[in-house]
Structure 1
């Protein structure tokens, strides 16, 4: 990759023809981070998608603006969606449904090898209940699919894991356009972003030409990004993007989804102690760990803070120990 790249051949996708309901506070800040940059020997800008909007903010709000608008237009009164026990998508879906007067059914799968009061009752789980969602805990993916099917009705809409449908991806097409406007003439080498269900990275890839480092939080990110980018391309009527400007980085996966490594906790401490920015141990913590390990001297990076901070309380026992190191 060339030493410096810009979004000089950026795709312009017209989103004005799609239903959209306001849920976030846009644009989210693009923070200059001088102390973090000095510590890493590079210029790091943090795009604060953890801030603003309902439900304590996060990247899923951008997706929900499109998916819930379509559901409302179709006459839905109930939203069904999936996730792990500490799902950020579930928490923000519950909050957005509360704002819009929709019932919310969260089908949660015990997909992370964790248990205990903090993980099972605190963090996003407590907020799900606070926002009025009904929770359905399942042990397997098959049980989750069966449960969702039983809940479905003529007036319900089911959203995929992470809200990463073709419509959901449009939220990050819009974010790519927003980021381009904030950067103006400032040149950046790459965007670093956590990759889970693939929709956020797919939107950034479809909406811009700046190289994206997609940091996997679990195996299979390449396939998920390509699939969701294809769905979004169909929605807007453009060709499938080649995604040759997306690099998948699996270095931070560790033992699997929802299992933080020592490097993740170190990255959380670094961001907190240099800039007062709180990351989470599932998504942004892994993306930050990959950034710290792979940053190149003198480069300029935009780090996408996709939110998820409430989940840190689900890891309270480890947080107490790691915060004191």
Structure 2
């Protein structure tokens, strides 16, 4: 077994302020043996590589409500939230040089009705002793419209948890002005004496939004040695949901830095490139739109963590998004998504969410039996291909889909 790589981040990454929200120990990575066995069965290819699938349990990463990938992002936002002169507190549509007079008193964010992000922002706010206001759009995606009981959809799952956590909830339709511009709400709060801190959906448009998963790349690189991986000795493919984009972007920038440091050290560690595959979860925008966002977010994170020539070091060749599993709409469960959700539950006892991780699982299982993965193994002379599925949480939304999950 190889020695553990140092957990200490390199400068200037390690100098960026971070407020711990996650458990002290990394979120676990464990094998999925049954799913691996199923994915390796390719009748027409007796010499096909063994597919070894692992799960990184970001849904077990934090003691706060509904653990998931947003807490990792929010760790880098908290120091700015508490700052007497926050760098990001106005809506991105209304840039201003005005500063707050003191730290924030209320966190404001937005999302779809069953947004995981809003729950995690609310839970963080309560943990920090702050108020929380969430703006929920009924028309984001088609989950609300396609429900057999829209009234229940707007009350169960993450909506119910937001209420339990004490958030103020305001619901909108697509034609309401507040659905696209939260600035009037922020002005209302300021006039009432509050100091609102605006967190955009998924925290991706926030300039610090990609740092959490850049740090996760170092964590995963360390865990690779503990998993005793065969083949290349690293995770050849990493599958993760791509919604607002900064989770994928952070991984791209983080692994760029990990591998650049290993190259410079002259040691014999296995090195990338790892294939980071972002599975898109919504057909609302074309893939090219998401690719441009991910590239931009990855470069922003790269500059902050020490990739000083991030535009040269991170290119569109590093961005791999798959839009074949988006289904009919954001939050809409199709047969492929339902099958993946059921298979993960029945084979590995793991619950996925119907919006993000079930679509990632569907994409991952398709890739695992694809000619592309076989050719990758042949090209790199691998008898085993190591696959990492990043479980970003979201199971709390299942109750809102009571009429479509089973």
- The TM-score normalised by the length of structure 2 is 0.72
What whole-Å deviation, never above 9, does each CA across 1:146-183 have from its counterpart, x for those lacking one? 44432343721101110112212100011111000000
Give the match for residue 380 of structure 2.
Answer: none
Asked if 1:166 corresponds to 2:189, the answer is: no
Give the match for residue 185 of structure 2.
Answer: 150
Distance 1:261 1:37, change over 3 A: same
Q: Which residue of the other structure, out of 128, 134, 137, is the alignment partner of 2:162?
A: 128
Q: Which residue of the other structure, out of 275, 291, 296, is the alignment partner of 1:227?
A: 296
Q: Distance in 1 between matches of 2:141 and 2:302?
A: 32
Give the match for residue 200 of structure 1.
Answer: 247
**Matched ranges for 1:226-265 at <5 A:** 226-236=295-305, 238=308, 239-240=310-311, 241-265=314-338
Stretch deviating more after TM superposition (220-229 or 256-265): 220-229
Note the C-alpha offset of 1:243. 4.7
Q: What secondary structure does 1:303 align onto?
A: strand
Q: Distance in 1 between matches of 2:13 and 2:254?
A: 11
Q: Distance in 2 between matches of 1:195 and 1:67?
A: 20
Note the C-alpha offset of 1:234. 4.1
Contact 1:217–1:253, Cα closer than 8 Å, also in 2: yes
Q: What secondary structure does 1:16 align onto?
A: helix
Distance 1:142 1:68, change over 3 A: farther
Note the C-alpha offset of 1:21. 1.4
Give the match for residue 4 of structure 1.
Answer: none
**Matched ranges for 1:65-214 at <5 A:** 65-74=75-84, 75-110=103-138, 111-113=140-142, 114=144, 115=147, 116-140=150-174, 142-152=177-187, 153=190, 155-164=195-204, 165-184=206-225, 186-209=233-256, 210-214=274-278
Q: What secondary structure does 1:55 align onto?
A: coil
Q: Which residue of the other structure, out of 293, 303, 310, is the alignment partner of 2:366?
A: 293
Q: Distance in 2 between matches of 1:274 and 1:76?
A: 46
Q: Which residue of the other structure, out of 46, 51, 62, is the alignment partner of 2:72?
A: 62
Distance 1:187 1:233, change over 3 A: closer
What whole-Å deviation, never above 9, does each CA across 1:278-311 have from its counterpart, x for those lacking one? 1111100111111111213542111111111111
Q: What secondary structure does 1:27 align onto?
A: coil
Distance 1:301 1:243, change over 3 A: farther
Q: Distance in 2 between matches of 1:201 and 1:24?
A: 19
Note the C-alpha offset of 1:57. 0.3
Structure 1: gaps of 5 or more residues: 1-6
Note the C-alpha offset of 1:258. 1.1
Q: What secondary structure does 1:259 align onto?
A: coil
Q: CA RMSD in A?
A: 2.0
Contact 1:81–1:105, Cα closer than 8 Å, also in 2: yes
Give the match for residue 3 of structure 1.
Answer: none
Q: Distance in 1 between matches of 2:183 and 2:396?
A: 25
Note the C-alpha offset of 1:46. 0.4
Give the match for residue 399 of structure 2.
Answer: 313
What whole-Å deviation, never above 9, does each CA across 1:195-251 have from its counterpart, x for those lacking one? 000010000000004220111112342122123223323434532322523311000
Q: What secondary structure does 1:207 align onto?
A: helix
Q: What secondary structure does 1:132 align onto?
A: coil
Q: Distance in 2 between matches of 1:13 and 1:137?
A: 43
Q: Distance in 1 between matches of 2:357 and 2:183?
A: 29
Stretch deviating more after TM superposition (134-143 or 49-58): 134-143
- The TM-score normalised by the length of structure 1 is 0.90
Distance 1:50 1:14, change over 3 A: farther
Distance 1:276 1:161, change over 3 A: same
Note the C-alpha offset of 1:35. 1.0
